[in-house]
């Protein structure tokens, strides 16, 4: 079965093509036959397209025009034409899977996309305005390019739909609950993949493990996983809650917002920009949302960069502590995503706080750019894993499973 995966971001569109058999499902994630990416970061009317294949062919082009659908269609055309061709025609694709950030309360599992599902994704765009509309554009681009091929929505919120009410419901008026204002959690596809991969690496049944998965990228969140289910997480009603992130503030006193609205010239829109785009590492350091640039500035003696790092580590440790409280113990601590996978400094700092639990990180292993390995010492009471998150493969797996139910 050939499965095309589309992973839409606010300013990018990633895609890859997998060929799956019964055998590949039980193996480590395979390399995609083809991978494509469109980047609109610099200019919405110019698409930077990059395509590569498993055989090493690479294509890089810039395309003008403001039609996102046309840009996606152009990228898909490279599947069947030119040096990057990997299939003879688009009809060879059996199913297309989409990452959809918000599924609300109604979508707790992956679903085949219908008109009703599209309407629901559109309706939930007010909760995920940067991502759900982009996912819809990808769905419509596939309809135009591939016709009636089956499409599947895989929701980032689904994995956290098992949160107990005590973890999910905010202590505001009960009317909020009736309005759907609750903790939804995000990065669920990544957290679920990493939990399953951790069980594979440790050669354990996932239902027997208590895990904390740390998705640390430009966006950051933690999940407490017990008996294969998410029972707590740091992101909330929106992805703004929880840990300090690249440009998002994470959890802050809501009284600050009331104060700013009363005492300053802030509007809802300007507050939204400050909290999502001008806070976190970027806001405190004044340098960047990229942790690599923060680290470089710290090494040059930049005090604001050091402060940003210190707050980041403090918030990360506090978040892990809250997940520990929900789990009542810990078998493995998992690091993933850009910072989690690549920053030995952050992993070391996060782990140092839990030495009293008998968690011991192997300093040498931690420095060796580990991927999908255990970096704890042999005598550590808690395993420490670095896992390369593969959301696209997880989406492909869910497409396969849905079609074979």
The answer to whether 120 and 104 have CB atoms below 8 angstroms apart is yes
Distance CA 214, CA 226 (A): 15
- Please name which of 397, 402, 306 lies closest in space to residue 26, comparing C-alpha atoms: 397
Catalytic residue, candidates 66, 156, 290, 378: 156
The answer to whether 209 and 156 have CB atoms below 8 angstroms apart is no
The answer to whether 67 and 45 have CB atoms below 8 angstroms apart is no
Cβ-proximal residues to 53 (8 Å cutoff; 6+ apart), any chain: 33, 34, 35, 84, 86
CA 248 → CA 105, 220, 238, 402, distances in Å? 25, 9, 11, 34
Distance CA 51, CA 61 (A): 9
Specify whether 156 is catalytic: yes
- Please name which of 317, 305, 316, 257 lies closest in space to residue 281, comparing C-alpha atoms: 305
Q: In degrees, to the nearest 5, what angle opens at C-alpha 76 toward C-alphas 70 and 82?
A: 115
- Paired tokens of 25: 């499902």
Distance CA 316, CA 324 (A): 12
- Paired tokens of 282: 């970027």
Cβ-proximal residues to 215 (8 Å cutoff; 6+ apart), any chain: 187, 190, 191, 194, 221, 222, 223, 336, 337, 340, 389
**Positions marked active-site:** 156
């Amino acid at each position: 079965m050939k499965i095309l995966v589309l992973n839409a971001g606010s300013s990018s569109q990633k895609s890859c093509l997998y060929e799956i058999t019964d055998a590949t499902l039980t193996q480590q994630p395979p390399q995609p036959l083809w991978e494509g990416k469109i980047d609109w970061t610099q200019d919405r009317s110019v698409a930077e397209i990059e395509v590569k294949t498993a055989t090493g062919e690479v294509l890089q082009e810039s395309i003008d025009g403001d039609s996102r659908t046309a840009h996606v269609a152009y990228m898909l055309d490279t599947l069947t034409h030119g040096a990057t061709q990997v299939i003879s025609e688009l009809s060879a694709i059996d199913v297309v899977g989409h990452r959809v950030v918000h599924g609300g309360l109604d979508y707790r599992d992956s679903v085949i996309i219908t008109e009703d599902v599209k309407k629901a994704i559109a309706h939930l765009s007010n909760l995920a305005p940067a991502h759900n509309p982009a996912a819809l554009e990808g769905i419509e681009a596939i309809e135009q390019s591939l016709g009636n091929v089956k499409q599947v929505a895989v929701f980032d919120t689904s994995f956290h739909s098992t949160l107990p009410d005590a973890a999910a419901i905010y202590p505001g008026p009960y009317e909020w609950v009736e309005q759907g204002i609750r903790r939804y959690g995000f990065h669920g596809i990544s957290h679920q993949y990493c939990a399953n991969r951790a069980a594979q690496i440790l050669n354990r049944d996932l239902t027997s493990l208590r895990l904390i998965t740390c998705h640390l990228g430009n966006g950051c969140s933690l999940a407490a996983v017990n008996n294969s289910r998410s029972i707590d997480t740091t992101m909330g009603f929106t992805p703004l809650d929880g840990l300090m992130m690249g440009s998002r503030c994470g959890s802050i006193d809501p009284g600050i917002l009331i104060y700013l609205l009363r005492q300053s010239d802030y509007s809802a829109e300007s507050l939204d920009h400050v909290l999502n785009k001008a806070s976190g590492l970027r806001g405190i350091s004044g340098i960047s949302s990229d942790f690599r640039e923060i680290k470089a500035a710290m090494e040059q003696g930049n005090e604001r960069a050091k402060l940003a790092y210190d707050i980041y580590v403090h918030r990360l440790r506090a978040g892990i502590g809250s997940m520990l409280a929900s789990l009542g113990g810990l078998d493995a601590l998992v690091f993933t995503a850009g910072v989690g996978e690549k920053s030995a400094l952050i992993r070391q700092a996060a782990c140092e706080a839990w030495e009293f639990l008998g968690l011991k990180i192997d300093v040498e292993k931690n420095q060796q750019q580990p991927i999908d390995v255990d970096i704890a010492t042999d005598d550590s009471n808690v395993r420490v894993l670095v896992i390369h998150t593969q959301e696209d493969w997880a989406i492909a797996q869910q497409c396969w499973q849905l079609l074979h139910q």
